[in-house]
Chain A
Amino acid sequence: MRGVFVKFIVVFILCSACTEKEIIIPPFEPIISDRVVLVEEVTGVRCPNCPTGSAKIESLLDQFPNQVVAVGIHGSFLTQPYSESKFDFRFDAARELENFLKPWEGKPAAFVNRKKFENEPILSISEFDLLSTYVAQELNEPHQIEISMSIDFDLDSRALEINLGIIPLADLNGEFRLSVMLTESHIIDRQANVGELIEAYEHNHVLRMMLTEFDGDSFNNSFVRGDLINQSFSVTLPEEDGSWIAENMEVVAFISNHENEDKEVLQAVSVPVISN
């Protein structure tokens, strides 16, 4: 019987000694596309893993210049400011949007064009290193709608006027909604990180205001190729309090299709409130 035991060991040694060819990892190649992809992240100041998630989103913006729009949503979970925090990024629409994007497994979680990808069990993506793969997939999809945006901002009154021009590039049917939001970057405040609290953390792409409903305003059920649609929005920005700094703010707009309980984003655009 000891012979069988020894044979068993020998078989394993032979098996594990077999050399298996390593898998070839192809290099990343830029994609030429007119699509702009929306990447939303549910995050929070008390979420220790969120700085890593945000850093990966910055990498994504670097990897796909002018092809990705980022939004950081501070809804309910792990978002309560510390007593030492200067700002509170929470507001009703952010909470509602965070709920609307459920289910997600935990924070941080990201959404690429609010689309459920084939290999993901749910809408949210918790493996942030896969974001670039999904963004690339989306950039390779047909470009169906173009959105152009112009902004008029009065420095004295802080009145902001947003004009959108939406041009369908194909005949489309669905339940389309338009979302318009304000984001702010370079806000310095406290943030939890793995093993530490960062007092002067730079919060970027923070969702600060919705100019439409949190899940977008219904505005069309069919598009005809080439028919221009104009939409306008106006708002007065709150006074600066260390945040709400117009130079650091962007207007983000996107169109999503909510047909068949979907919420997929077709095209996004972002423009700074004050252009250089």
Chain B
Amino acid sequence: MFLKTWLPYILLCLSIAASAQDRGSFSGTLQTNVNFFVKDAAIGAVNIPQYDEGLTGVDTWLNLNYSFKGYNAGVRLDFFRNSNLLIPTAAYSAEGLGKAFINKRFDKLFVELGYIYSQIGSGIIFRSYEERPLLIDNALVGARASYDLSENWTVSGFAGKQKNQFSLNEGLVKGGSIEGYYATGSEDTPISFSPGIGLVNRTHSQQTVDRLVNIVRQYIGEERIGLKYNTYLASVFNSLNYQDLTFFVEYAYKSSEAFRDPTAIRTELTGKQTFGKFVNEPGSVLYTSLNFGDKKLGVTVEMKRTQNFNFKSDPTLNGVMGLVGYLPPMSRENTYRLTSRYTPTTQDLSELALQTEIRYRYNKKLSALANFARITSLDDELLYREYFLQFQYKQKRKWLLTAGVQSVNYNQEVFEVKPEVPLVETITPFIDFLYRITNKRSVRTELQYLRTEQDFGSWAYGLVEVGLAPHWLFELSGMYNIDPAKGGDKIFYPTVGAVYNYKTHRLGVRYVKQVEGIVCAGGICRLEPAFSGVKITLNSTF
């Protein structure tokens, strides 16, 4: 069975590799994650098939690319066994062709066939992309072409069905854009514009329409909504550049379509009222960002207003599956363990968000960064607020000190669908110190303390990382529930790991105990259960 599934791909890869010895260029990447699940009821790492039966999970992506005389082609083979990436509480096993493409530029014309990754504007009405930590891969399987109308203007179009692991979602997605560049002003004070317009149309398959009809026919009286095969989206965007200033604005509109609103109240046949039903509404997003940057000061202000913009290739799909567009996240992408513990999920039905970041460099040694984010629903319900302040001091190449504090208000009831839980309020001071002993030896330490009276209570986190360049990196860290809320237990979550680098290959082995929390990748977040076990990762580029 294994060979039957894989043999054609392997033969294809070998033939590409063989020809690569003579001409053209051949490259590839391999990523493998192996998880060993060790049950730990104390931290909640139980009741998931991997802990009860599978015990081991494997995720592998083998990517092979070949370029020859302007032709680019590639395949990716994906392999999953007892994987917890697709649905964190279930085991997913499958293997097959994850991606295949060929493209070529013919002077002004560019043509691509296969699994297409692309976007229009900032991606609001269309973005096909991959986020492996959440197993999102919504490539469009079809064709794309673009044509350079002039040196500064390009028109493009695409059509296809959206990938859903090893099958295709039913809806047919078509679209196009025209994007350009226009400069004016004097030589000393040039002003440039990068305007664009994008259009997308999705046509439901008969199967999806039948499914929607069967759902909607259960609705009574006025709650019954109209259904159509087609939905249209359009976005207009422009980036204006003037000296150190960049101003980007995009407005996207979606025509009326049926989508699931989990907050809408539905009357059942029995008269009882429940949450969640399909509604038929138009949607819109307004996104704008203003950037200013010179040698000393950098300022970014972003604003986004989202209303009813849940757009999927098949609206009956759950969670993040089937998303055609991408709504830019409006909070800081934090990297430290405790400052990233409470991260907001983008709200596609009702969100008003504002984010400001100011960076200032006093001198070569000292710099500061301040960030403020506020996200509410359109009804002004506070969803998320963050104040972040960080200082960095660099002593030549010898040591680097980073220190700061973060304060967060996080609406756990909305983001994690936990009933009657209060707004989580945190204050998190942190310090990060990197010391280079020699050119090849370094030690990095982190200390963080998250104080909160809600959720699991307060946490302390410490990390020691020893780097022995060019090969080794050792990590010892621990997260401790120092002041548990609701009479919970004081639990220690240790991590011990080592990473070995050899040329373009990287092997990591980590023993991990990880508390339940939100995991975000590329602006999309989801709640993941606790993890207990060993994680092995291998990354290779060749």
Assess the B178–A4 pair: CB atoms within 8 A: yes
Assess the A48–B417 pair: CB atoms within 8 A: yes
Assess the A15–B229 pair: CB atoms within 8 A: no
Closest approach, in angstroms, between the C-beta of B252 and any C-beta of chain A? 13
Residue A243 interfacial (CB < 8 Å): no
Assess the B274–A56 pair: CB atoms within 8 A: yes
Interface centre among A55, A76, A77 (most CB of B within 10 A): A55
Residue B214 interfacial (CB < 8 Å): yes
Closest approach, in angstroms, between the C-beta of A235 and any C-beta of chain B? 28
Residue B7 interfacial (CB < 8 Å): no
8 A Cβ contacts from A23-48 to B: 23, 25-28, 48
**Contact partners of B227 in chain A: CB under 8 A:** 22-23, 25
8 A Cβ contacts from A76-91 to B: 76-77
8 A Cβ contacts from A101-135 to B: 102-106, 119, 126-127, 129-130, 132-133
Tell me which of A4, A5, A62, A103 contacts B90 (CB under 8 A). A103
Q: Render B247-268 as a binary contact track against A, CB cut-off 8 A, 1 for contact.
A: 0000000010000001000001
Tell me which of A28, A99, A196 contacts B420 (CB under 8 A). A196
Assess the B218–A129 pair: CB atoms within 8 A: yes
Q: Render A196-221 as a binary contact track against B, CB cut-off 8 A, 1 for contact.
A: 11000000000000000000000000
Determine the distance from Cα of A27 to Cα of B224 in the docked complex, in whole angstroms. Answer: 11
8 A Cβ contacts from B219-242 to A: 224, 226-230, 232, 234
| Interface size class, chain A | 35 or more
Residue B419 interfacial (CB < 8 Å): yes
Determine the distance from Cα of A76 to Cα of B214 in the docked complex, in whole angstroms. Answer: 31
User: Can you name the residue of chain A whose Cβ is closest to the Cβ of B86?
Assistant: A105
8 A Cβ contacts from B132-170 to A: 149-150, 152-153, 155
Tell me which of B195, B199, B229 contacts A20 (CB under 8 A). B229
Residue B363 interfacial (CB < 8 Å): no
Assess the A22–B228 pair: CB atoms within 8 A: yes
**Contact partners of B303 in chain A: CB under 8 A:** none
Tell me which of B49, B207, B274, B413 contacts A119 (CB under 8 A). B207
Assess the B201–A5 pair: CB atoms within 8 A: no
Residue A193 interfacial (CB < 8 Å): yes
8 A Cβ contacts from A129-172 to B: 129-130, 132-133
**Contact partners of B149 in chain A: CB under 8 A:** 1, 4
Residue A52 interfacial (CB < 8 Å): yes
Determine the distance from Cα of A48 to Cα of B418 in the docked complex, in whole angstroms. Answer: 7
Tell me which of A22, A48, A63 contacts B226 (CB under 8 A). A22
Assess the A197–B420 pair: CB atoms within 8 A: yes
User: Can you name the residue of chain A whose Cβ is closest to the Cβ of B258?
Assistant: A23
**Contact partners of A197 in chain B: CB under 8 A:** 419-420
Q: Render A44-67 as a binary contact track against B, CB cut-off 8 A, 1 for contact.
A: 000011011001101100110000
Residues of B in contact, count (CB < 8 Å): 55
Closest approach, in angstroms, between the C-beta of A33 and any C-beta of chain B? 18
**Contact partners of B229 in chain A: CB under 8 A:** 20, 23
Assess the A20–B230 pair: CB atoms within 8 A: yes
Closest approach, in angstroms, between the C-beta of B262 and any C-beta of chain A? 8
Known: A51-B274, A52-B276, A55-B270. A16 touches B232 (CB 8 A): yes
Tell me which of A20, A51, A62, A99 contacts B228 (CB under 8 A). A20
Known: A23-B229, A52-B276. A63 touches B269 (CB 8 A): yes
Known: A55-B268, A58-B270, A127-B316. A1 touches B180 (CB 8 A): yes
Residue B131 interfacial (CB < 8 Å): no
Determine the distance from Cα of A13 to Cα of B316 in the docked complex, in whole angstroms. Answer: 28
Determine the distance from Cα of A58 to Cα of B273 in the docked complex, in whole angstroms. Answer: 12
Would you list 17 pairs from A and B whose C-beta atoms are within 8 A, ordered by A residue? A1-B180, A8-B178, A15-B199, A15-B201, A23-B213, A23-B229, A28-B217, A48-B417, A55-B272, A56-B274, A58-B268, A58-B270, A102-B49, A106-B89, A133-B214, A194-B262, A195-B420
Q: A15-B201, A59-B218 are in contact. List 19 more A-B contacts (CB 8 A).
A: A1-B149, A1-B153, A4-B178, A8-B178, A12-B234, A16-B232, A16-B234, A20-B229, A22-B227, A22-B228, A26-B213, A26-B217, A28-B217, A48-B417, A48-B419, A49-B275, A52-B275, A106-B89, A192-B419
9 smallest beta-carbon distances between A and B, as pairs: A133-B214, A52-B274, A59-B269, A129-B215, A76-B47, A23-B227, A59-B268, A22-B226, A16-B232
Chain B residues within 8 Å of A, Cβ to Cβ: 46-47, 49, 52, 87, 89-91, 149-150, 152-153, 155, 178, 180, 195, 197, 199, 201, 207, 209-211, 213-218, 224, 226-230, 232, 234, 255, 262, 268-270, 272, 274-277, 316, 318-319, 413, 417-420
